[in-house]
Amino acid sequence: MPERVYLDWNATTPLRPEARAAIAAAWDISGNPSSVHAEGRRARRLVEEARAAVAASVAARPEGVVFSSGGTEANALALTPGLRRGAGLPVQRLLVSAIEHASVLAGGRFAADAIGTIAVARSGLLDLDDLRTKLEGGPAALVSVMLANNETGAVQPVAKAAEIVHAAGGLLHVDAIQALGKISFDINSMKADLVTLSAHKIGGPKGVGAVVLADGVQGLEPLLRGGGQELGRRAGTENVAGISAFGAAARAAMAALEEDAVRLRGLRDRLENGLLQTPEMIVFSGDVRRLPNTTLFTVPGLKAETAVIGFDLDGIAVSSGSACSSGKVQPSHVLAAMGLSHELAQGAVRLSLGWSTSETDIDLTLKTWRKLANTLLRGGRRNTA
């Protein structure tokens, strides 16, 4: 059977060899990391080494890292009423951008009537003027803006957003799950108060994530209460193997980041140059800074489900958008928030690349696309959006 081409890295990534080795090593340790005997101390050492690695990946302090069961739990934990920084007022409401992940749009523990939405431009970037307006005259707010969108790849102006939020007495949460290991950033340069991360987006295992707190942030109330693990911020015996693998994946991803970014940007450009030979081709957020590995495209009249099936039958795994909603028939909420028509939104196909993607993979993908386009589409003009 011919080897398949995997171009859905924004949904999840293969397990890195370093993470696999970390899991295998952790399985040989029998101790509970909360136990004081030698076996427990060995387990604790793995957890704390991983904590340091995850903290280093965003230039934070290790004690600011709270491990969770994944990105969704991390986002739910971060969205806590009452958060404050230093002597600042506790946040009483939540503002989220219209293109956030479903786990952020759900609002965490904020009441529905305490949640507002920030608009985005057609480019897919946050509307900073709307953010200013939404912050005026109300109580202190927690604002949640993702660093990079999982569908379009558009990189958001989070540092500018942070200045606006802090001037209004609020706090900024940055969902950096899709950005980690793809672009350089850190919690300080973003001026973020909380950052959330997930292991399986960088070659770690599924089911492990983290909230990272900036210095001075207080009031993070645990979702799970019990034994007091994670300095009382997340109860439950730590997933030693998963956490250790998260740390290993973080170290590997950060070591390869610059080289991978250059290579993947070249492959993405090769891909898009080929796609844009199709008349009326639209590459979403094509005129703004994006993740180097991400392309979201469509052509008027295209049905995403049909295209995804066609790619799959030809041995190529792609997506119609976020994997968390890929089974739904409604179009992307991200593209709807950008003001795209229902027709265009329901035809969006996402290709996302990773460390093992090759030029051959890109060429095979373009060959399949040309075949699908000849079958499904009629001629027109080239475009970007």
The angle at the Cα of 127, spanning 169 to 84, to the nearest 5 degrees, equals 20
SS3 category, 175? strand
| Through-space distance between the first and last CA atoms of the chain, rounded to whole angstroms | 38
**Residue keyed to tokens 């928030």:** 337
Q: Given 324, 336, 366, 376, which residue is catalytic?
A: 324
**Residue keyed to tokens 């295992």:** 205
Cα Rg for the chain, rounded, in angstroms? Answer: 21
Q: For residues 238 and 251, what is the distance between their CA atoms, to the nearest angstrom?
A: 20
Q: Which residues pair with 303 in a beta bridge?
A: none
- Is 226 a known active-site residue? no
Single-letter amino acid code for the residue at 23: I
Single-letter amino acid code for the residue at 67: F
For residues 110, 112, 115, 121, the Cα torsion angle rounded to the nearest 10 degrees is: 130
Quickly list H helices, 168-277: 229-232, 240-275
Kindly tell me the sign of the dihedral angle through the C-alpha atoms of 107, 208, 333, 128. Answer: positive
Beta carbons within 10 angstroms of residue 255's beta carbon: 12
Q: What are phi and psi of 153, to 5 degrees?
A: 80, 0
Tokens of 230: 């994670």
Q: Which residues pair with 209 in a beta bridge?
A: 68, 198
Q: In what order do the strands lie in the sheet with 349-352?
A: 282-283, 294-298, 349-352
Selection from 105, 176, 114, 186 nearest residue 146 by Cα:
176
Decide: 326 and 320 in contact? Cβ < 8 Å. Answer: yes
**Residue keyed to tokens 């940055």:** 174
Decide: 178 and 291 in contact? Cβ < 8 Å. Answer: yes
Which residues are known to be catalytic? 324
